[in-house]
């Protein structure tokens, strides 16, 4: 039980998890104690070098494209959140599409258009607003029955926008959507993006960690087309909030969009052009030494220790789904590709609301909900490292108990 953590109890099945572990806490403590601000290589060569090293480890551990390595054209950087990482991706895409003009002259009068699916996380729309693209210029592409973006629909929308004189510049695909774990067909989307010179960003905030396991590495299928990619070690990789891993294929657009060099930040190392200044890869100037906690987690668990956590959670989710399916009163509402089970009582919204309220009021567990096919649907997200089979069994017993109570009170 060395790595037991207390931030979320084992019957926390709501949202997506925010994990923690002793190695991560120690890394964070050390980082606070060191008091580093790694805004420039010169202000903390160690913080910069460790971050570069750890991000390269992730490329290797997860079989990510070689272009994401620091020694290639791109590289990785730790952002505070996936929301910020996707914002930075949109800004880099905008930079590439406008040949730098948007930096100087602002966004081009509503001509730039971005695409994502109807199931994308709300952060993508928020980022489109912040980046000056605007919600109206973010197209929500329809999804199929498995909540995955329909590539033929994407192609149609791009063609229509081009015909109308607009400039499609970025597609944000999702692997593991928040509502129901939909997986966009990244390779097919990527081919369309390449054909039109559009930046492809992939958001796999929760699901990305699964790439640690060879049998789940399909989560990175099509990444050879991705210009940028984010996943959150602070969700499923035992690293405490905040820690988002963001990668780019070609760092030039990112840096040219975000780099401004006033005299007071100039220094010999930066001027020599031989070091990484991560301030140019993110929105803020200052930055904490987050890489230390990730380094501690990876060294303490090892790849196999982290794989064990992912495998156990996926197995538990599948087992829970099988119990739901075996019960004539319930149904599973998604395909359960990883560790999120969307399910509902067949009795309708009122019964499901009563189950949700009853389960949460019991204080024994925490569930959240979504709407699928316009029906209230319960989400059981397994991602806390303390969660064992007995906890999932207890959750199922509580759900059934609340369903029985709901039936009785009707
Ligand atoms: N993208 C997806 C798919 C998510 O599920 C979430 C959060 O659950 C986010 C983005 C936002 O994550 P963050 O809190 O790191 O911005």
| Ligand 1, CB cutoff 6 Å, lining residues | 16, 81-83, 121, 123, 174, 177-178, 203, 205-206, 232, 244
Q: Where a domain ends, among 275, 298, 321? A: 298
Whether 332 and 216 map to the same domain: the answer is: no
Whether 311 and 222 map to the same domain: the answer is: no
Beta strands in 151-240 (DSSP E): 167-174, 199-203, 228-231
Residue 357 belongs to some domain of the structure: yes
Q: What is the pLDDT of residue 244?
A: 98
Residue 111 belongs to some domain of the structure: yes
Tell me the pTM: 0.95
Q: What is the pLDDT of residue 18?
A: 84
Residues 6+ apart with CB under 8 A from 289: 31, 34, 36, 38, 44, 46, 47, 50, 51
Q: Is the pLDDT assigned to residue 328 strictly greater than 90?
A: yes
Residue 3 belongs to some domain of the structure: no
Whether 226 and 328 map to the same domain: the answer is: no
Cβ-based burial of 83 (10 A; exposed 0-12, middle 13-18, buried ≥19) = buried
**Distance of CA 83 from the midpoint of ligand 1 (Å):** 6
Closest of 288, 258, 239 to residue 89, by C-alpha: 258
**Distance of CA 80 from the midpoint of ligand 1 (Å):** 11
Whether 47 and 165 map to the same domain: the answer is: yes
Q: Are 272 and 266 in contact (CB under 8 A)?
A: no
Read off the pLDDT of residues 30-51 as tens digits, 9 standing for 90 and up. 999 999 999 999 999 999 999 9
99-108, 257-266, 356-365: the lowest-pLDDT one: 99-108
Whether 193 and 174 map to the same domain: the answer is: yes
Percent over 70 (pLDDT), the chain: 96
C-alpha span between 146 and 334 (Å, rounded): 7
**Distance of CA 408 from the midpoint of ligand 1 (Å):** 38
Beta strands in 175-243 (DSSP E): 199-203, 228-231
Pocket test for ligand 1, best of 232, 237, 283, 370 (most atoms within 8 A of CB): 232
**Distance of CA 243 from the midpoint of ligand 1 (Å):** 12
Q: Where a domain ends, among 298, 324, 348? A: 298
**Distance of CA 313 from the midpoint of ligand 1 (Å):** 19
Q: Is the pLDDT assigned to residue 10 strictly greater than 90?
A: no
Residue-number span of the structural domain to which 383 is assigned = 302-409
Residues 6+ apart with CB under 8 A from 185: 148, 149, 151, 222
If one counts the domains in the chain, the total is 2
Q: Where a domain ends, among 255, 274, 298? A: 298
DSSP state, residue 100: T
Whether 380 and 283 map to the same domain: the answer is: no
Read off the pLDDT of residues 101-138 as tens digits, 9 standing for 90 and up. 777 666 777 799 999 999 999 999 999 999 999 999 99
């Amino acid at each position: 039980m060395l790595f037991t953590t207390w931030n979320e109890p084992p019957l926390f099945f709501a949202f997506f998890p925010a994990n923690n572990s002793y190695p991560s806490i120690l890394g964070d403590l050390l980082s606070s104690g060191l008091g580093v601000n790694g805004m420039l290589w010169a202000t903390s060569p160690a913080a910069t070098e460790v971050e570069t090293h750890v991000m390269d480890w992730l490329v290797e551990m997860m079989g990510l494209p070689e272009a994401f390595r620091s020694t290639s054209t791109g590289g990785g950087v730790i952002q505070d959140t996936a929301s910020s990482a996707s914002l930075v991706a949109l800004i880099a895409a905008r930079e590439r599409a406008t040949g730098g003009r948007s930096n100087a002259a602002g966004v081009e009068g509503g001509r730039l258009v971005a695409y994502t699916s109807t199931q994308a996380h709300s952060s993508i729309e928020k980022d489109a607003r912040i980046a000056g693209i605007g919600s109206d210029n973010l197209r929500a592409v329809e999804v199929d029955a498995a909540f995955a973006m329909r590539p033929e629909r994407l192609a149609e929308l791009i063609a229509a926008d081009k015909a109308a004189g607009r400039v499609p510049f970025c597609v944000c695909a999702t692997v593991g959507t928040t509502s129901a774990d939909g997986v966009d067909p990244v390779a097919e989307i990527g081919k369309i993006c390449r054909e039109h010179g559009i930046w492809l960003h992939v958001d796999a905030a929760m699901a990305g960690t699964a790439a640690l396991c060879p049998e789940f590495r399909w989560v990175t299928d099509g990444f050879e087309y991705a210009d940028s990619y984010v996943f959150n070690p602070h969700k499923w990789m035992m690293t405490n909030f905040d820690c988002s891993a963001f990668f780019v294929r070609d760092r030039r657009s990112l840096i040219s969009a975000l780099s401004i060099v006033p005299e007071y930040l100039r220094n010999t190392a930066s001027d020599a052009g031989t070091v990484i200044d991560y301030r140019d890869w993110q929105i803020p100037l200052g930055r904490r030494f987050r890489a230390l906690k990730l380094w501690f987690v990876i060294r303490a668990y090892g790849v196999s220790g982290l794989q064990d956590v992912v495998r156990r959670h996926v197995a538990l989710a599948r087992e829970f789904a099988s119990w739901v399916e075996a019960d004539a009163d319930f149904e599973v509402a998604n395909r359960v590709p990883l560790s999120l089970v969307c399910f509902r009582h067949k009795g309708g919204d009122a019964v499901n609301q009563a189950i949700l309220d009853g389960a949460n009021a019991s204080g024994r567990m925490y569930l959240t909900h979504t709407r699928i096919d316009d029906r209230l649907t319960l989400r059981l997200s397994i991602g806390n490292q303390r969660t064992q089979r007995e906890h999932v069994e207890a959750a199922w017993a509580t759900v059934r108990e609340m369903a029985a109570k709901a039936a009785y009170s009707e």
